[in-house]
Amino acid sequence: MQHPKQQTTNPMVTGTSVIGIQFDGGVLIAADLLGSYGSMAQMRQLPRVFKVNEKTVIGASGDYSDYQFILEKIMQKVNQDYCLNDGYVYKPKQLYSWCTRVMYNRRSNFDPLWNRVVIAGLEDNQPFLGSVDLLGNAYEAPCIATGYGNYLAVPIMREFLEKNNNKITEAQARDVVDRCMKLLYYRDGRAYDKYSIAVVTRVGARVEECKELQTNWQVASQVASYD
Amino acid sequence: MSGLIKEKENGGFSFENCRRNNYILAKGGFEMPKATKTGTTIAGIIYKDGVILGADTRATDGNIVAEKNCHKIHYIAPNIYCCGAGTAADTEYTTRMIASQLELHRLNSGRQVRVVSANRLLRQYLFRYQGHVSAALVLGGVDINGPYLGSIHPHGSSDRLPYVTMGSGSLAAMAVFEDRYRPDLSEEEAKELVADAIRAGIFNDLGSGSNVDLCVITKDKAEMIRPYHVANEKGVKQGNYLFKRGTTQVSKTLEKKVQYDVMSTSVREIRPSTETMEIA
């Protein structure tokens, strides 16, 4: 007899990397607009970053249905906040803590949510950027990337932050993120050249729906043979 | 097939030992000795005047750093060098073998060795061993046809490209190249770009570390710069734990001569073993 829980260890529709970086006065995260069905590029307008409230944004890679499940639970909490109408809203660190407990609890029951979630926002006017994975591993860092972004984008972002002493402007952050998304499109087999960004600053949070990458294929003229 | 006499195999590689190894492993109780892997970042680019190869210098044995400053850029010919990732012994001996074959070829033909020859010999050797020789190589050189850079995978496939990276840190190094490579870099810019790529591997990949070695190959010469950059200095000890002289007080010193007697002396002539040495 097949064990009923075995279905949950097989991600179906997946999203690839999410990258995030802190800048002076805010945070931004970016993810491409692709939902892959195995090796097929099935959904090419799948938004994977989401605005929770004026202080927080969330993004995730991995199984998209598990991500929708998490989002639904979060939106229920946001609606509760709205109904209570007492001036308090969920802050990024609270959401991050909640997410960690949910993910770790699921993994302890051998029924993980197959995601790596990135939570970003302003916590008491201080930029916050954290990530929780399907095992419940949670950490905060000045720059975060999931999936292949961990190998390709993190070295670039870390080098850039170190060069600028961890203080960069929003424009610089957008530029680095664009370079990293380009990098991922070149070298990740499940990436896409259109992506969306979610930015949180003191003014508020917003999601910019669709940015297109300007890719450079000039190197193709130098590739002639395998010999 | 006869049950008693084994038929002679014609050519090719005999995988008899691989079958034997699998049988022994399946029986249980025997663990294959772990090969020292180089867990590496190696990279190369083509710039205006030639090729630059770069490598880190850490060799790992599982989770331990086996050697802090090993040599990953191997000599193939005066105008050809090769970086190696994978099993350290495989990269070392494969490149040495091909280097000796090419030296004989050079003496035979009287011409400068072409990099495609090195590529072909390496590829054909690695394919013959079906990936069991775990050597991933970045081959670079300059010959009569201009600068040449390519990567060779353990199973025997090769790619000829303007910039390549191999090893566990290859993604970090490739990120730097994809971000900043341009076709006609000057020598200084190209050296810094390769060093940046290797440093990205050193600081972001646990299998790579220590220093950056470079090899600059142009039409006229090949220059090994080892190290190009010492990225990780060994820390200076903050305290001295040696005891000062006089910590233990010397109360008495006693000197005694050791008496020995000469029992016998003998003189022997050193004679050659054969008597064929005759100087006419």
State pLDDT tens for residues B155-175. Answer: 999 999 999 999 999 999 999
pLDDT of residue B171: 94
Q: Which pLDDT score is estimated for A176?
A: 96
B200 interaction partners in chain A (CB closer than 8 Å): 155-156, 159
* Structure-model confidence comparison of residues B71 and B26, the more confident one: B71
Task: Name the token pair of A189.
Answer: 């087999």
Amino acid type, B117: S
Whether B18 contacts B70, CB under 8 Å: no
In this predicted structure, the answer to whether residue A17 has a pLDDT above a threshold of 70 is yes
- Which of B51, B151, B178 is the best mutation test for A, with the most CBs of A within 10 A? B178
Q: What is the pLDDT of residue B280?
A: 46
CB–CB contact B183 A218 (8 Å): yes
How sure is the predictor about B233, in pLDDT bands with cuts at 50, 70 and 90?
A: confident
For chain A, counts of helices (H) and of strands (E):
4, 13
Token couple for B158: 């090769």
Question: Is B51 or B234 the better-scoring residue by pLDDT?
Answer: B51
Q: Tell me the shortest Cα–Cα distance from B124 to chain A, in angstroms.
A: 12
A41: DSSP letter: E
Best A160, A217, A226 member to test B by mutation, with max B CBs in 10 Å, is A226
Q: Residue A150 half-sphere exposure, CB side, CA atoms within 13 Å?
A: 10
Residue with tokens 């090969």: B35
Q: Are A121 and A27 in contact (CB under 8 A)?
A: yes
Where are chain A's structural domains? Answer: 13-222
Mean pLDDT, rounded, for B241-249? 86
Residue B80, beta-bridge partner list: B77, B141
Provide the pLDDT for residue B17. Answer: 81
Distance of alpha carbon B128 from alpha carbon B133, whole angstroms: 9
What per-residue confidence (pLDDT) applies to B278? 52
Domains of chain B: 37-230 (3.60.20.10)
Q: Which residue does chain A place closest to B168, by CA atoms?
A: A151
- CATH C-level class of A13-222: alpha beta
The ipTM of this complex is 0.88
pLDDT of residue B36: 60
Q: pTM of the prediction? A: 0.82
B124 vs A: CB within 8 A:
no
Q: Nearest chain B Cα to A223, which residue?
A: B161
- Specify the DSSP element, H or E, that contains B124: helix B115-128
Helix, strand and coil percent figures for chain B, each rounded to 5: 30, 25, 50
- Quick one: pLDDT at residue B51? 97
CB-based contacts of B262: which residues, under 8 Å, 6+ apart?
none
Percent of chain B scoring above 70 in pLDDT = 91
Distance from the Cα of A123 to chain B's closest Cα (Å) equals 28
- DSSP string covering A136-162: --EEE-SEEE-TTHHHHHHHHHHHHHH
Task: Say which residues have a Cβ less than 8 Å from residue B203's Cβ, sequence separation at least 6.
Answer: A155, A158, B231
As a whole number, mean pLDDT of residues A94-110 equals 94
Per-residue pLDDT band for B277 (boundaries 50, 70, 90) equals: low
